[in-house]
């Protein structure tokens, strides 16, 4: 049996006498000590705290756990404090950076997960389990909400009142009893011969000479087959056209056809230019920080912010200033389009990284904005429109039950984005549907060899970002006049949909009214 255990690594600062490691990775050690199954761990090893990393790896391998599926990040391990915890290295998303992800994780028989890893990594693993019918045991100390309706997903909520942080190391007896009852481990530790111990990364070095020979052959193939590589990166060069019925009726009080709505939206856009340059690009300084949440709000049925939870002190600005971002969002986007939004989060991961995000779940959507990246008004408007593009194109109902997110593997066949992928991404092949976790040279090569398909490199990360960038261009710009490049075709294709034509009028009309009121108030 193959078992994948995924858990975080933390340092328990409550013990000042010596360094004590903590976190969900301890569950992997427990499984390795009490099972003869092939056990692997996914976690994030720190390349900054190398002595701790070496000790943890040695301990895991001694317990029979293979560490080669783990990620490496340039960040310190998380810390547990009396009053809470800092996720540290566990914040980083590394599941899909493993090139073996595509086949190995899918072949596992059992997943044992804890919720002290990056939430997106957790959701990806849950999606893999869902799509491959993998028995899954989730242990949670309440770091983030977990639900599933699948029969073979077992969620074990540990004592959150006593341990409102990753306190898995303190509850190993409870966890052991659950895993024994599930038939995953035994109560008695197993004994392993030296040749039964997990292999290390050095084991793979035995193939080094063969790889050198292969590289020499590959170099010759690259010289002779460069054209073929470019063709694989750029697709077959298909022709794309749009089919816009300009006289198609539109259900809108101010415009009756797609043509009338386009013209009205363009007039709003032209008038808006008297108040703001919607295309203004601020200078961005890239600043890498660990993500920190500051304030989280519940959004009530009237789209008002309620029940603020203050997690950390705001390092810049004021709460009132950042609440205004929410008011702008609800002033610009028609309220009937925001019925699934149930939360608003103020966070930061440093300037120039994640500007904003939406977390779309079956029980509601959370909008998050970075307090350091949303000081330029024009850029803020575009960011809010971009994030609504995600909300519009990724409704929770378009994904299979139990997926717990918006992974492309979970798309229903009749989903809006599934049609978008079929129309505009099928020529690249499945390999290029998700490029976020590819190396920088791979991402640059894909974008450069499809430069007419995307306006900006970020758009080429995956169909979700492509749709949101295209949606923003559709709302904030005039329609491209020709089908000369695929990036323009995608924008023009939005005019095929009467609902989108009406939505563009609403958003631009609301934005214009908001700007007029702002200027009037400042006069």
Give the tens place of pLDDT for each residue, 311-349.
999 998 899 999 999 999 999 999 999 999 999 999 988
Could you give phi then psi for residue 356, rounded to 5 degrees? -165, 170
What letter does residue 195 receive in the DSSP assignment?
A: G
pLDDT at 15 exceeding the cut of 70: no
Topology given in CATH for the domain delimited by 2-199:
Rossmann fold (3.40.50)
Percent of the chain with pLDDT over 70: 85
- Which tops the pLDDT comparison, 22 or 73? 22
What letter does residue 281 receive in the DSSP assignment?
A: -
What are the tens digits of pLDDT across the range 408-442? Answer: 888 998 999 999 999 999 999 988 999 988 888 99
- What are 130's two structure tokens? 């869902």
The highest-confidence range among 157-161, 260-264, 276-280, by mean pLDDT, is 260-264
Q: Residue 124 — pLDDT band, cuts 50, 70, 90?
A: confident
**Displacement of CA 59 from its chain's centroid (Å):** 31
Partners of 85 in the β-ladder: 80
Q: Residue 99 — pLDDT band, cuts 50, 70, 90?
A: very low
What are the tens digits of pLDDT across the range 173-201? Answer: 999 999 999 999 999 999 877 666 665 55
Q: Residue 448 — pLDDT band, cuts 50, 70, 90?
A: very high
Spatial CB neighbours of 77, under 8 Å, sequence gap ≥ 6: 9, 10, 11, 21, 46, 49, 52, 88, 89, 90
What are the tens digits of pLDDT across the range 360-388? Answer: 998 899 999 998 877 788 999 999 999 99
Task: Give domain limits for the chain.
Answer: 2-199, 205-234, 235-282+413-523, 285-375
What confidence score (pLDDT) does residue 305 get? Answer: 96
Residues 167 and 46: their CA atoms lie apart, in Å, by 20
Residues 141 and 122: their CA atoms lie apart, in Å, by 14
What confidence score (pLDDT) does residue 502 get? Answer: 98
Average per-residue pLDDT for the chain: 86
Q: Residue 161 — pLDDT band, cuts 50, 70, 90?
A: very low
Mean pLDDT over 223-228 rounds to: 45
Q: Residue 72 — pLDDT band, cuts 50, 70, 90?
A: confident
What confidence score (pLDDT) does residue 385 get? Answer: 97
What confidence score (pLDDT) does residue 291 get? Answer: 78
- Which tops the pLDDT comparison, 136 or 48? 136
- Which tops the pLDDT comparison, 100 or 458? 458
What letter does residue 496 receive in the DSSP assignment?
A: G
- What are 315's two structure tokens? 């390092």
- What are 448's two structure tokens? 């450069």
Could you give phi then psi for residue 152, rounded to 5 degrees? -100, 20
Three-state secondary structure call for residue 115 = coil
Of 32, 71, 26, 76, nearest to 51 by C-alpha is 76
What confidence score (pLDDT) does residue 504 get? Answer: 98
- Which tops the pLDDT comparison, 73 or 364? 364
Spatial CB neighbours of 421, under 8 Å, sequence gap ≥ 6: 408, 411, 433, 463
What are the tens digits of pLDDT across the range 267-291? Answer: 999 999 999 999 886 544 444 556 7
What confidence score (pLDDT) does residue 231 get? Answer: 45
In SS3 terms, 298-345 reads as EECCCCCEEEEEECCCCCCCCHHHHHHHHHHHHHHCCHHHCCCEEEEE
pLDDT at 20 exceeding the cut of 50: yes
What are the tens digits of pLDDT across the range 290-318? Answer: 678 999 999 999 999 999 999 999 998 89
Mean pLDDT over 484-513 rounds to: 96
pLDDT at 459 exceeding the cut of 80: yes
Long-range contacts of 57-63 (CB under 8 A, 24+ apart): 59/29, 60/25, 60/28, 60/29, 60/32, 61/197, 61/198, 61/200, 62/197, 63/28, 63/29, 63/30, 63/32, 63/33
Strand order through the sheet with 356-361: 305-310, 292-299, 341-348, 364-370, 356-361
Partners of 114 in the β-ladder: 139
Spatial CB neighbours of 472, under 8 Å, sequence gap ≥ 6: 382, 385, 386, 389
Tell me the H-state helices in 182-257. 208-234
pLDDT at 69 exceeding the cut of 60: yes
């Amino acid at each position: 049996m193959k078992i994948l255990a995924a858990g975080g690594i933390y340092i328990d600062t409550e013990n000042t006498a010596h360094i004590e490691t903590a976190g969900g990775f301890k569950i992997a050690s427990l499984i390795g000590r009490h099972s003869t199954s092939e056990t692997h761990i996914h976690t994030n090893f720190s390349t900054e705290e190398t002595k701790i990393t070496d000790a943890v790896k040695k301990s895991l391998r001694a317990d029979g756990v293979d560490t080669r599926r783990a990620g490496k990040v340039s960040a310190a391990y998380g810390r547990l404090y009396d009053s809470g915890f800092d996720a540290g290295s566990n914040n980083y998303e590394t599941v899909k950076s493993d090139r073996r992800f595509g086949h190995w994780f899918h072949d596992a028989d059992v997943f044992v997960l804890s919720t002290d890893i990056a939430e997106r990594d957790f959701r990806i693993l849950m999606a893999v389990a869902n799509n491959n019918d993998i028995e899954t045991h989730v242990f949670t100390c309440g770091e983030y909400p977990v639900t599933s309706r699948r029969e073979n997903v077992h969620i074990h909520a540990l004592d959150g009142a006593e341990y409102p942080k990753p306190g898995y190391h303190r509850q190993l007896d409870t966890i052991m009893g659950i895993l024994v009852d599930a038939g995953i481990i035994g109560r008695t530790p197993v004994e392993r011969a030296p040749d039964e111990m997990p292999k290390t990364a050095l084991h793979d070095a035995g193939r080094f000479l063969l790889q050198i020979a292969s590289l020499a052959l590959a170099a010759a193939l690259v010289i002779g087959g460069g054209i073929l590589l470019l063709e694989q990166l750029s697709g077959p060069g298909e022709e794309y056209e749009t089919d816009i019925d300009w006289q198609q009726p539109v259900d809108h009080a101010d415009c009756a056809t797609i043509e009338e709505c386009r013209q009205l939206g363009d007039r709003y856009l032209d008038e808006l230019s008297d108040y703001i340059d919607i295309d203004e690009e601020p200078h961005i300084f890239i600043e890498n920080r660990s993500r920190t949440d500051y304030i989280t709000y519940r959004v009530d049925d009237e789209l008002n912010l309620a029940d603020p939870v203050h997690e950390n002190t705001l390092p810049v600005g004021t709460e009132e200033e950042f609440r205004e971002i929410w008011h702008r969002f609800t002033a610009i986007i028609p309220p009937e389009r925001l019925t699934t939004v149930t939360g608003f989060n103020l966070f930061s991961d440093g300037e120039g990284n994640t500007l904003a995000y939406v977390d779309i779940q079956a029980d509601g959507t959370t909008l998050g904005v970075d307090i350091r990246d949303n000081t330029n008004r024009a850029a803020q408007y575009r960011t809010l429109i971009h994030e609504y593009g995600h909300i519009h194109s990724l409704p929770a109902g378009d994904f299979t039950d139990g997926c717990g997110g918006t992974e492309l593997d979970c798309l229903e066949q009749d989903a809006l984005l599934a049609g978008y992928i079929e129309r505009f991404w099928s020529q690249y092949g499945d390999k290029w549907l998700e490029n976020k976790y590819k190396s920088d040279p791979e991402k640059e090569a894909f974008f450069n060899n499809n430069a007419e398909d995307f306006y900006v490199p970020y758009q080429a990360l995956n169909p979700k970002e492509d749709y949101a960038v295209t949606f923003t261009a559709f709302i904030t710009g005039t329609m491209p006049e020709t089908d000369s490049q695929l990036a323009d075709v995608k924008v023009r294709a939005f005019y095929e949909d009467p609902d989108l034509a009406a939505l563009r009028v609403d958003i631009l009309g609301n934005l214009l009214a908001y700007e007029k009121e702002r200027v009037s108030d400042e006069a």
